[in-house]
């Protein structure tokens, strides 16, 4: 468990401490009346990590494990069930609504699906400048100028030509660039990138990743980079945190986790990473069965029903996330 003292270490830009989000189950009226206790989806169930200024932390795990919910909590787009998030040493949940408005410029999100996050009826130039228009009420001409500049920087060129285009008139790669430009227009410090390449064609994924690395340097950014695909994290992350059913099961420097994975779940994710060597044979077993429901997560270690190395204690006791080497954290009895 992360110590609260970490917060005093100013090197950490963001510290997440035992964060939980349990969504109440939506049931019918009769079901609710008859139910003995309320059910919850344990989307995020005690997550702790920190991110240094300028660092890229990858949050990696299968669909439904709670990555997006974690990202939304960090930006206070959702209120937590419990736990805290400290930004520059101050709890973001202690900010008033008005103070939080000011923080919105510094904390931004790049959404997964550009179609869902862009209005089909707003020209992209206007969409990119929209956060500026609503957050700091800048004059229209100035907003336009800033939007054109950021469009050039993310490769939406010629910017003046594309400014008046609508999302459906662009390619998938261009739409993703619009979403990136809109997140950067307020000059943020910290960006949650929620699967920014998942919806893009394979041919443009590498370009978008490269752009994100370049923009990080240019704008002095810190990223939480969310992905379901461990292979992608290789190109951009300094450290990775592996998430399974609402919990972090392993976390450490990228190279260390790739070379020396300790949690069996990390091993199974690594087995899915393609290796350009025809003689290479898989060394990790594919997990059994499907990911269980976060409504009633298995007792003990949540991965035990699918784990090839599970022992009897794994179904009874829940392993804590402990530091096994410097900076390498694992929640496993192995």
Ligand X SMILES: Nc1ncnc2c1ncn2[C@@H]1O[C@H](COP(=O)(O)OP(=O)(O)O)[C@@H](O)[C@H]1O
Residues that bind ligand X (CB under 6 A): 23, 41, 43, 61, 63-69, 294
Q: Shortest Cβ distance from residue 123 to ligand X (Å)?
A: 30
- Given ligand X, Mg ion, none, residue 43, with its beta carbon under 5 to 8 Å by kind, binds ligand X
Residue 46 or 71: the one with the smaller Cβ distance to Mg ion is: 71
Count of CB atoms within 10 A of residue 217's CB?
Answer: 9
How much helix, strand and coil, in percent to the nearest 5, is found in the chain? 35, 20, 40
Q: Shortest Cβ distance from residue 80 to ligand X (Å)?
A: 13
- Given ligand X, Mg ion, none, residue 41, with its beta carbon under 5 to 8 Å by kind, binds ligand X
Residue 170 or 249: the one with the smaller Cβ distance to ligand X is: 249
Return the beta strands (E) in 12-60 as ranges: 12-24, 40-52, 56-60
Residue 70 or 108: the one with the smaller Cβ distance to ligand X is: 70
Query: How far is residue 42 from each of residues 62, 81, 95, 294, measured CA to CA in Å?
Result: 15, 10, 25, 5
Contact 248, 262 (CB under 8 A): no
Distance CA 160, CA 170 (A): 14
Question: Bridge-partner residues for 51, per DSSP?
Answer: 14
- Given ligand X, Mg ion, none, residue 235, with its beta carbon under 5 to 8 Å by kind, binds none
Beta strand pairing status for 239-244 and 82-87?
unpaired
Q: Shortest Cβ distance from residue 89 to ligand X (Å)?
A: 26
Count of CB atoms within 10 A of residue 148's CB?
Answer: 19
Q: Shortest Cβ distance from residue 293 to ligand X (Å)?
A: 7
Residue 68 or 174: the one with the smaller Cβ distance to ligand X is: 68
Residue 287 or 294: the one with the smaller Cβ distance to ligand X is: 294
Contact 190, 225 (CB under 8 A): no
Q: Shortest Cβ distance from residue 92 to Mg ion (Å)?
A: 20
- Given Mg ion, ligand X, none, residue 248, with its beta carbon under 5 to 8 Å by kind, binds none
Binding site for Mg ion (CB under 5 A): 68
Contact 176, 205 (CB under 8 A): no
Residue 111 or 265: the one with the smaller Cβ distance to Mg ion is: 111
Residues 6+ apart with CB under 8 A from 71: 59, 109, 192, 194, 224, 226
- Given Mg ion, ligand X, none, residue 64, with its beta carbon under 5 to 8 Å by kind, binds ligand X
Contact 41, 47 (CB under 8 A): no
Q: What tokens appear for 271 in the block? A: 């087995």
**Which residue in 236, 232, 122 sits closest to 182, CA to CA?**
122
Q: Shortest Cβ distance from residue 68 to ligand X (Å)?
A: 3
- Given Mg ion, ligand X, none, residue 65, with its beta carbon under 5 to 8 Å by kind, binds ligand X
Q: Shortest Cβ distance from residue 63 to ligand X (Å)?
A: 4
Residue 81 or 309: the one with the smaller Cβ distance to ligand X is: 81
Q: Shortest Cβ distance from residue 268 to ligand X (Å)?
A: 16
- Given ligand X, Mg ion, none, residue 58, with its beta carbon under 5 to 8 Å by kind, binds none
Site of tokens 């700091």: 136
Residue 65 DSSP code:
S
Residue 43 or 321: the one with the smaller Cβ distance to ligand X is: 43
- Given ligand X, Mg ion, none, residue 23, with its beta carbon under 5 to 8 Å by kind, binds ligand X
């Amino acid at each position: 468990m992360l110590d609260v003292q970490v917060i005093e270490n100013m090197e950490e830009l963001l510290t997440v401490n035992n964060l939980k989000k349990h969504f109440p189950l939506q049931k019918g009226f009769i079901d609710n009346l008859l139910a003995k206790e309320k059910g919850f989806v344990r989307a995020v169930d005690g997550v702790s990590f920190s991110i240094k200024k300028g660092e890229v932390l990858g949050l990696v795990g299968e669909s439904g494990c709670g990555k997006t919910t974690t990202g939304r909590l960090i930006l206070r787009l959702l209120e937590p069930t419990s736990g805290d998030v400290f930004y520059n040493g101050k709890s973001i949940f202690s900010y008033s609504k008005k103070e939080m408005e000011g923080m919105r410029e510094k904390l931004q999100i790049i959404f997964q699906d550009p179609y869902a996050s862009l209005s089909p009826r707003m020209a992209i130039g206007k969409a990119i400048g929209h956060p500026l228009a609503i957050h700091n009420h800048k004059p229209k001409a100035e907003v336009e100028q800033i939007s054109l500049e950021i469009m050039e920087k993310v490769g939406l060129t010629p910017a003046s030509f594309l400014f008046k285009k609508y999302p459906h008139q662009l390619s998938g790669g261009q739409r993703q660039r619009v979403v990136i430009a809109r997140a950067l227009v307020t000059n943020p410090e910290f960006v949650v990138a929620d699967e920014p390449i998942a919806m893009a064609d394979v041919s443009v994924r590498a370009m978008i990743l490269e752009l994100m690395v370049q923009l990080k340097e240019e704008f002095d950014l810190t990223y939480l980079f969310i992905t379901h695909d461990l292979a992608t994290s290789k190109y951009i992350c300094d450290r990775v945190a592996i998430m399974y059913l609402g919990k972090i099961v392993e976390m450490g420097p990228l190279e260390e986790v790739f070379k020396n994975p300790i949690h069996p779940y990390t091993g199974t994710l690594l087995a899915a990473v393609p290796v350009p060597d025809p003689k290479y044979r898989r060394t990790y077993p594919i997990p059994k069965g499907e990911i269980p429901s976060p409504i009633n997560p298995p007792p003990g270690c949540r991965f035990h029903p699918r784990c090839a190395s599970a022992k009897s204690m794994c179904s009874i006791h829940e392993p804590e996330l402990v530091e096994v080497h410097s900076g390498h954290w694992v929640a496993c009895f192995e």
